[in-house]
Amino acid sequence: MSNFTPGPWLVSSSTLVVTDKAEIIANTIPTFVAGLQLPMKESEANAHLIAAAPELLEACEKLVEVAPVLWGSDHDEWPRIMDRIEAAIAKATE
């Protein structure tokens, strides 16, 4: 697993993501690139998604651990769902 900053992460102001110790994780404030600017509402939504990342990763890891026991492996959609969850975990921890 990657050595990312442990959660929880919080949105402080509308676009700043910080730890509970006020360490800055990300700033999604809109910037101009090639004459384009991300809308403020989208920047705020991005901050909330980033802040949720540690909890989302933990939930996915737990699901991978317990789902086969809960639902068995013969559910038709299960292999595709597991592939997507495991790909997201890999992306988050590479």
**How does DSSP classify residue 67?**
H
Domain ranges of the chain: 9-93
* Residue 39: predicted pLDDT: 84
- Quick one: average pLDDT of 50-76? 83
Give the list of residues 6+ apart from residue 63 with CB closer than 8 angstroms, or none. 85
* Residue 25: predicted pLDDT: 95
How far apart are the C-alpha atoms of 65 and 32, rounded to whole Å? 42
What confidence category does residue 74 fall into, taking pLDDT thresholds of 50, 70 and 90? Answer: low
* Residue 73: predicted pLDDT: 65
Instruction: Give pLDDT tens digits for 29-42.
Output: 887 767 777 788 88
Q: What is the pTM of this model?
A: 0.77
Q: Count other Cβ atoms within 10 Å, centred on residue 57.
A: 19
